[in-house]
């Protein structure tokens, strides 16, 4: 048992888990007893919003405490510059042991080019900034072709230990792929689509993997994290463990018992397309594509589906969530077994959500409905393991400042989030409004150009502006919490629309990067 007194941190992140799909948040079907137990001994945020509703930009905002347009990782397929400081750098500089186990996604883990095909002009100087001479291939497949575990250039965004999992589903890459090839005797057969187990699901990306539970990426992340946490028990240094599960992100392929743990008939599409009183142009476009039988541009592109396909996606997602919950239980038990539980702050969060049937949509995209922006956030602190639910508005961008605050450390200049430790200590409020930013990597969903979306959420309103579009979104969350009636064109709400427009403008004006401060003398 360690003798150090500074708190450890176990930060658990899932991928594409919306806030209301855990049982402690009221989901009537999905069972998450270990996450529920964590919430029963901590503060659960009922209004926690992703800074960006897609993987890479939001994860970079978590690491930096900065908005995507400031830290530079603006859309999936972009990079977080290697000269970036992260809160883990601050922790490491004061003696913390830092580890990233699982999905990082701060660099592209595919060699595919972004969907920016509108401009192929040859330029003598291509970009406004010089590309640094740095290694941005560490999450890409080629780094893991060999048999020996790939050695990262450390520290990696402040992490002194990296156990990388890239991609999603049963065929993840990174260190997991190297481990899988070494430990699964018939790994090639397990990866052969011809050996998919039989099923009658019609949902896109529903795949019944032959890979057993013990060789599935979720179990790997849990096992590797448990081993690393055990190794810290006799050390004098406090630790920060970032444990990031690639599930329940699509493809929908929970292994073994988790495949049929839930029945599609147990789920309802409670908010079909018809529930929206005045669908926005992208919603209408997706509906038209579905009516015409057209497929989505990419596997990750949001789309409209029929009820049965949505129910199947729900059931399989629920299986993946429960598998993650089992691994959460494993990690908490390891903390207790090693005597580290009483000095460890445990957090549970997700990078973004999934439409998962809302308005008959699946996956995520430019439309920032609460299903994709609102994510679970639980903070269980050893100073008080008492259960509490807070309505305070907070965001991913606040996490790094909060972690540093809890560790007794000052943030660096340029950090844009604010510590919500006062909420953990009992305060009722945090932000008056939180901002969400989305930038697409190509023109999709009927947009003629890559979508540029900015919006704010207050206790009672959600206001969203789409660059260059005459339409936008305004929802009264007090009377319409499910966002079914867009009040953008309502003359009765012109004043609140103007007020929120000005509030958003002020927030955008404050997004200037304050770093670095010039040290030159006049």
Enter the tokens of residue 368: 């920032």
Helix axes 307-337, 217-231, angle to 10 degrees: 20
For the segment 290-327, what is each residue's pLDDT rounded down to a tens digit? Answer: 999 999 988 999 999 999 999 999 999 999 999 999 99
Give φ, ψ of 463 to 5 degrees: -120, 130
H helices of 184-278, in order, are 187-190, 217-231
Chain centroid, CA 468 distance in Å: 27
Residues belonging to the chain: 522
∠ CA 355-454-398, nearest 5°, is 80
Distance CA 349, CA 58 (A): 12
**DSSP string over 239-292:** EEEEEE--TTSSSB---GGGTSSS-GGG----S-GGG-SS--HHHHHHHHHHHT
Enter the tokens of residue 348: 């549970």
Give the per-residue SS3 of 28-91. CCCCCHHHHHHHHCCEEEEEEECCCCCHHHHHHHHHHCCCHHHHCCCCCCCCCCCCCCCHHHHH
Give residue 103's region: left, alpha or beta (phi > 0; psi -120 to 50): beta
Do the Cβ atoms of 276 and 283 come closer than 8 Å?
Answer: yes
Cis peptide before 29 (omega within 30 of 0): no
Enter the tokens of residue 125: 């100087």
Distance CA 236, CA 358 (A): 48
Distance CA 357, CA 350 (A): 19
Enter the tokens of residue 379: 């903070």
**CB-neighbour burial class of residue 127 (10 A; exposed 0-12, middle 13-18, buried 19+):** exposed
Distance CA 422, CA 499 (A): 28
The tens-digit pLDDT sequence of the chain (522 residues) is 344 579 999 999 999 999 999 999 999 999 999 999 999 999 999 999 999 999 999 999 999 999 999 999 999 888 999 999 999 999 999 999 999 999 999 998 877 766 655 556 778 887 788 767 788 999 999 999 999 999 999 999 999 999 999 999 999 999 999 999 999 999 999 999 999 999 999 999 999 999 999 999 999 999 999 999 999 999 999 999 999 999 999 999 999 999 999 999 999 999 999 999 999 999 999 999 999 999 998 899 999 999 999 999 999 999 999 999 999 999 999 999 999 999 999 999 999 999 999 999 999 999 999 999 999 999 999 999 999 999 999 999 999 999 999 999 999 999 999 999 999 999 999 999 999 999 999 999 999 999 999 999 999 999 999 999 999 999 999 999 999 999 999 999 999 999 999 999 999 999 999 999 877 654
Sequence ranges of the domains in the chain: 8-113+136-431
**243 DSSP β-pair partners:** 12, 101
Q: Sheet with 434-439: list strands edge to edge.
A: 434-439, 452-457, 461-466, 472-476
- Record the pTM: 0.96
For the chain, helix, strand, coil in percent to 5 are 30, 15, 50
In the block, which residue shows the tokens 């959420």?
Answer: 457
Chain centroid, CA 7 distance in Å: 24
8-113+136-431 has CATH 3.40.630.30 classification: no
For the segment 62-90, what is each residue's pLDDT rounded down to a tens digit? Answer: 999 999 999 999 998 889 999 999 999 99
Distance CA 229, CA 10 (A): 9
Distance CA 355, CA 359 (A): 8
């Amino acid at each position: 048992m360690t003798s150090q007194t500074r708190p450890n941190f176990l930060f658990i992140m899932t991928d594409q888990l919306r806030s209301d799909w855990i049982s402690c948040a009221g989901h009537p079907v999905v069972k998450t007893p270990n996450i529920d137990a964590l919430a029963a001994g901590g503060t659960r945020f009922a209004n926690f919003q992703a800074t960006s509703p897609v993987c890479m930009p939001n994860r970079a905002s978590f690491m930096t405490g900065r908005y995507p347009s400031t830290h530079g990782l603006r859309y999936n397929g972009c990079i977080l510059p290697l000269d970036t400081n992260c809160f883990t750098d601050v922790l490491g500089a004061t003696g913390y042991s830092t580890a990233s186990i699982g999905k990082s996604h701060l660099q592209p883990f595919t060699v595919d080019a972004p969907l920016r095909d509108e401009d192929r002009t040859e330029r003598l100087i291509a970009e406004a900034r010089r590309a640094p001479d740095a290694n941005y291939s560490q999450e890409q497949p080629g780094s893991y072709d060999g048999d020996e575990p790939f050695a990262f250039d450390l520290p990696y965004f402040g992490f002194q230990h990296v156990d990388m999992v890239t991609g999603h589903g049963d065929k993840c890459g990174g260190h997991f792929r190297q481990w899988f090839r070494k430990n699964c005797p018939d790994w090639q057969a397990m990866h052969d689509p011809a050996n998919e187990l039989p099923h009658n699901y019609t949902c896109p990306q529903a795949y019944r993997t032959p890979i057993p539970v013990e060789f599935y990426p979720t179990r790997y992340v849990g096992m590797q994290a448990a081993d690393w946490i055990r190794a810290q028990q006799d050390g004098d240094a406090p630790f920060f463990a970032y444990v990031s599960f690639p599930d329940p992100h699509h493809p929908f392929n929970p292994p073994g018992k988790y495949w049929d743990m839930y029945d599609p008939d147990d789920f309802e599409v409670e908010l079909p397309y018809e529930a929206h009183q005045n669908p926005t142009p992208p919603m209408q476009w997706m509906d038209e594509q579905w009516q015409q039988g057209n497929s989505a541009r990419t596997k990750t592109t949001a789309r409209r589906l029929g009820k049965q396909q949505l129910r199947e996606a729900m059931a399989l997602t629920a299986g993946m969530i429960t598998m993650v919950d089992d691994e959460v239980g494993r990690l908490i038990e390891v903390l207790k077994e090693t005597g580290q539980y009483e000095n460890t702050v445990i957090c549970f969060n997700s990078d973004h959500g999934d439409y998962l049937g809302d308005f008959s949509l699946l996956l995520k995209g430019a439309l920032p409905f609460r299903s994709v922006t609102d994510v679970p956030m639980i903070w269980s602190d050893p100073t008080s393991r008492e259960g509490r639910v807070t309505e305070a508005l907070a965001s991913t961008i606040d996490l790094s400042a909060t972690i540093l605050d809890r560790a007794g450390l000052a943030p660096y200049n340029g950090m844009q989030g604010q510590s919500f430790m006062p909420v953990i200590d009992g305060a009722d409020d945090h932000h008056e409004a939180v901002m969400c930013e989305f930038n697409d990597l190509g023109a999709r969903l009927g947009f003629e150009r890559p979508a540029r979306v900015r919006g704010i959420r207050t206790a009672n309103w959600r206001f969203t502006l789409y660059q260059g579009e005459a339409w936008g979104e305004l929802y009264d969350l007090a009377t319409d919490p499910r966002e079914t009636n867009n009040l953008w064109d309502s003359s009765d709400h012109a004043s609140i629309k103007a007020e929120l427009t000005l509030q958003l403008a002020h927030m955008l004006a404050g997004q200037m990067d304050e770093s670095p401060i010039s040290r030159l003398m006049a």
